Amino acid sequence: MKLNRKLIVFGIFTVAILMGVLSMQRAMPDAKEARIYKEIQLYSPYKMEKRMGGLEIVDKRDGRKEKPSNAEVFHRMDELEKEWGNKHLRIEGSNVYVIGENNQTITQIFIETPKEKEFLQTFYGI
């Protein structure tokens, strides 16, 4: 009888740990190549600001604010950046071009490694 209780307690503990790990993985934002992502962030129209209840996403173009829950804020930021990047980034050779609203080139960023190019293709869908 004691063995069954120990197995039940061990099973509940194992399931709780597994559910915790899975929820943490689901809450993590997509992995990014740091150098190229930081360069592109300079031209992205979205930024995060602190507020009393957590974080909010601000559109620099018109000042519009989104206040997603703390669990969703990084995923929502990724969605907005992917949508913007799909329209305003273009890869040509070993450069990525940031394109403005009027279809003019704002800047070009050199792609240093194949991993950066792969990141741009998978994250931004370009």
- Give the CA diameter of the chain: 75
The number of beta carbons lying within 10 Å of the beta carbon of residue 54 is: 13
Give residue-wise pLDDT tens across range 101-123. Answer: 888 888 999 999 899 889 988 98
On the question of pLDDT at 19 being above 70, the answer is yes
At 45, give phi and psi (nearest 5°).
-80, 5
Measure the CA–CA gap between 62 and 71, rounded to whole angstroms: 25
Tell me if the pTM is above 0.85.
Answer: no
On the question of pLDDT at 46 being above 90, the answer is yes
